[in-house]
Amino acid sequence: MLSTSTPAQKLVLKAHNTATSPRSTYRHGDLRRALLDAGIELARAGGPEAVVLREATRRAGVAPNAAYRHFASREVLLQAVRASALSAVARAMEAELDGIAGGLPPADIARAGVRAVGTGYLRFALKETGLFLTAFAPSDVLIQATPELPTAGNSGLNPFELLGAALDELVAAGVMPPERRPGAEFLAWSAVHGLAMLVVRGPLASVVRPRIEEVGQRLLDMVEKGL
């Protein structure tokens, strides 16, 4: 079947090659993408340590060393996966932001923006724990966005920038005094990040998880009042 496919069919096969359909051509088509996708899947299921070069090549249906045509090392692949995970976090935040009802006074909108960013972060951590851990995993390398490896969501802002923008709105709406603005993202981020870490893998997993929505909203209350 596959071996008698026409050149045109082969092209289609190459373009849509997945782990399940055996390759029919010598060349893979888009191995870089396939490895990256496999890496993302591994990270989703098991966090950053689960991103293993050999397993990614296995899933792409390719010899282990083929990966080196596209990534200089396992570490470089992992960084690409992290960038993708960061982008997914940004999109989760944007989804929450999109849900904000219009027609409210500016102050309420601004407050809702910060809450949306925090809520998106927490929900992502719970729903996509592996990717979340990968995005913010301990790492010596500072993850840099590049044109090929965007860390931003649809808005063009990455998670950190989305938080910053939401806080700017808070100031613009007169909810937060401008002198408190500098560095405020560190405080807000810390609170939400800490809860996420403690709940998804840490000591609060069993205690807080069932009440995470409630505790999350209380945490955001605290941040709002405290900032």
Partner DNA sequence: TGTACATCAGTGAACGCGCGTTCACTGATGTAC
DSSP state of 143: P
Q: Read off the amino acid at residue 54.
A: R
Encoded one letter per residue, x for contact with its own copies by CB under 8 A and - for no contact, window 138-167 reads xx--xx----------------x-------
169, 104 in Cβ contact below 8 A? Answer: no
Shortest distance in whole angstroms from residue 39 CB to DNA? 10
| Residue choice 68, 131, 189, 213 for contact with its own copies (CB under 8 A) | 189
Shortest distance in whole angstroms from residue 112 CB to its own copies? 18
Encoded one letter per residue, x for contact with its own copies by CB under 8 A and - for no contact, window 23-62 reads ------------------------x---------------
Collect all residues with Cβ–Cβ distance below 8 Å to 142 and sequence separation of at least 6: none
DSSP state of 16: T
Shortest distance in whole angstroms from residue 8 CB to DNA? 12
Cα angle 215, 217, 223 (rounded to 5 degrees) comes to 105
List the interface residues with DNA, window 21-60 (CB under 7 A): 23, 25-29, 31, 52-55
> Is residue 91 at the binding interface for DNA, with CB under 7 A as the rule?
no
Tokens representing 55 are 């397993």
157, 90 in Cβ contact below 8 A? Answer: yes
Closest to its own copies by CB, 65 or 190: 190
59, 41 in Cβ contact below 8 A? Answer: yes
Tokens representing 213 are 């929505």
Residues in touch with DNA (CB under 7 A): 10, 23, 25-29, 31, 52-55, 61-70, 73-75
